[in-house]
Structure 1
Amino acid sequence: MEFSTLFNDNWLNLIVIFALSIIAFVFKKKPKSNYFENIIKYTDILEKTPQPQYQKDYLNNIKKKLLWEKVCFYRSGNRNKERIAISLINSDIYNIIDLTQLNSLTQYFAIEKNKIYPLKLFLVKEFVVSCIAAVIAIIFVLSNLNTIFKSPEIISVIIAILTIFIITIIISQFIVPVIKRLNMLRLILKDNDFLNRANHQLAVIIEDDQKINISIAEQVFVQNEQESDNKN
């Protein structure tokens, strides 16, 4: 078989193999580094030497942020995501939730009128993208299975087998975690009291946050009053 004929018969598979290989390379896990441990050691050493208070506060805040990144299983910054994550964990009396999936699991829930509720699956971007990817993968697999059983060219058969193998590996890397989260969602919804417990936890969080905000506002007010008196 000439190269041009080979390419014309298998150009789509070759492009898929090339594209998925790049995706696999890009998303390949980076080797673990000692960045976290080194920063902690560095701040510990600096704390043992004479430092001004602002420097000590700076180092302590760095350590807090590093510890957050190290041990927290959901991303900070989005207040509703944090509230959902905390409420879900505090309500999980049957250990349904895999902590490594917590951050991604929060996207299946939303808060409205201070209540947590599960989103419709077609509103979850991850689910929609996964379904589209799965459908495309199935079409490619079926097409290549047809090539395997009907093509007289051994090279085309080999390329088809390789394409199916790569598609299966790459898609499984994305689909399996989604299936895990969907199963957790199923178990959560199967527990009739789970959302009630979660909403109770959310109410506690909101109440405590309001108390903290009031306390901060009072402190600021007192501080401003003191500064005003000192000026007078």
Structure 2
Amino acid sequence: MTDQSTSKETRRQQRAWRRQAASYDRKVERAERTMLDGSREWVAARATGRVLEVAVGTGRSLPYYPSGIELVGIDLSPEMLAIARTRAAETGVGDELRQGDAEALPFADASFDTVVCALALCSIPRPEVALAEMARVVVPGDSVVLVDHTRSDRAVVFVGQWLIERFTIPTQGEHLTRRHRGEVEAVGLEVVEHERLRSGAVERIRATRPLG
């Protein structure tokens, strides 16, 4: 996925994931057992019907999905997808895993009953564009479910996040201080569940696409 329509920022992010793919699970495991504990379970528990996971990565959410769903996963990185396909074979979850860009989802309008994005909006170059795409492909009345880093309201935590970003943004494209609720609402989704955890540094959102 390196054609002329792909933005420079997206190509840079793709290169970053290529470098990180082999070590990603090891690096993220500790954070998911501590600060992000329960996050993947939370989003997966809200998935029903035909589900799209945007930025499925190495498939770390796959073991948590309920039985009976049809899961399609999309990711920018073929290296990450290769690991996800192994995990899909082990778990029996992941009907279709394919390469694609979150900012230009290759699906028709209203194709999915649930759209999930777990810990990925922090690194998508234009999260507002990706959210508009998620809103487009979800069935009216159904849910877009998100969990991600967000800027803490506690000054001491925010300073720590800001300092970490000085490294993570240029090397990994990862932002810790973005705020996504306003972007969710700006694309016309209605927030029906919202909570912030870990001193406000982790945010969970379930939003629906209005009927009509």
TM-score greater than 0.5 by the shorter chain: no
Larger strand share, 1 or 2: 2
Which structure has the greater CA radius of gyration?
Answer: 1
TM-score when scaled to structure 2?
0.23
TM-score when scaled to structure 1?
0.22
Report 1 or 2 for greater relative contact order, CA contacts < 8 Å, sequence distance ≥ 6.
1
